[in-house]
Amino acid sequence: MRMTLMSAVATAALAVSTAGCAVLGDTAGNDLGKEGEAVHLTIGYQPYYTEAWSGLVMRGKEFWKDYLPEGSTVDFEVGLQGSVIVSQMLAGKQQIGYAGDMPAIVGASKRDTRDLRIVATLGTAQDQCGIFLTRPDAPEFKDQAAALDWFDGKTVSTPQGSCTDRIAQATFEQQGVAPQDYLNQSIEVITSSFESSKIDGAIIWEPTASKLVNEGLAKRVASGSEADQADAGYMLMDHELIEERPDVAEGWLKAELEAQKFLADPANADEIVGIALEQTEGFTEKDLRDALYRAWPTKQGGAEDGTRLSLPFVVDDEGMDHIEYSAGFLAKIDAIPDARLPEDAVFPSLAEKVLAESETPDGAGTVNSLR
């Protein structure tokens, strides 16, 4: 029997904690201790979102043990979507979160609830979030433009308010495409809708996109690259942690840079896929490998140079522009009250310091397709 993604995540969440006998992290009521003392952290991460796989590597390789005070403990908690992680962080139940661009921006906008800051970039791409899928019996298309034209008048779905929604709306507007029905569906419902032939197409992220393609439920035809639409993942950190334990905040970022460097090294591809397989349910090894390493032709949205994921680590000028653009979209759909984020919602100085002091001052590198 095929395990559904929702039940798979529930199963994975039961077994995801690591090395911790301390009380689960609650910054609001948890004593963060003094500089140099052992600390307990609770981290929200997304093994079901390839663009945030540095968190998956952090859990699997435990780089944090080299940078946090001796005796520190960490629990990793799975979030099926970044919005779940942001909710936990806003409630003070997680101190650090690995999330996509849209939920990270929403989290950083809610300072009246809790002061969360975007402190680093997990990755940027054009074909990790905005992947356009059609039903498997759709025609063969000569290029992305022709494929996107096919969506006109069709029944299309995506998780609205997410990066897929932003990319889909921008792409359809640029192409002059108007689906007959534009449905708000979770990835679980999208899967079942393809199974029952209730939708013609969807826009979804990796690794679910590769899973649907490999199961023969959908066909990949385009990505955000056609409309030059980027997607990104960001690290959120509770400002209370930054203020009270700068040694821990900086230590975590040093470990994160190690994780991103590990992710960028093609020699680690097999190990990374193995780690992903251990931390997910309902996905095959091929699904997970394809999500990060498959070389897609440009007519289906692949990059000409084979880049699947860029790892700048810091929130650079391009990242700031992306956050500003995405905040505008979120304000337009009333997901946040104002496109102008609170002061220092993006807090890049710690990551910039870590990167400047590292052996890779230009960033962690890129993940390229394995041809």
The token pair at 218 is: 């959908």
Domain ranges of the chain: 5-126+231-296+306-368, 131-227
Domains 5-126+231-296+306-368 and 131-227 share a fold: yes
| Model pLDDT for residues 297-343, shown as the tens digit of each residue | 999 999 999 999 999 999 999 999 999 999 999 999 999 999 999 99
pTM value > 0.85 = yes
> 131-227: which CATH architecture?
3-Layer(aba) Sandwich (3.40)
Sequence-separated (6 or more) residues with CB below 8 Å from residue 55: 43, 45, 46, 47, 76, 98, 122, 259
* Residue with token string 């679980």: 188
pLDDT at position 30? 59
> How does residue 6 score in pLDDT terms, banded at 50, 70 and 90?
very low
Q: What is the pLDDT of residue 177?
A: 97
State pLDDT tens for residues 60-72: 999 999 999 999 9
Which class would CATH give 5-126+231-296+306-368? alpha beta
CA angle 245, 248, 253 (to 5 degrees): 130
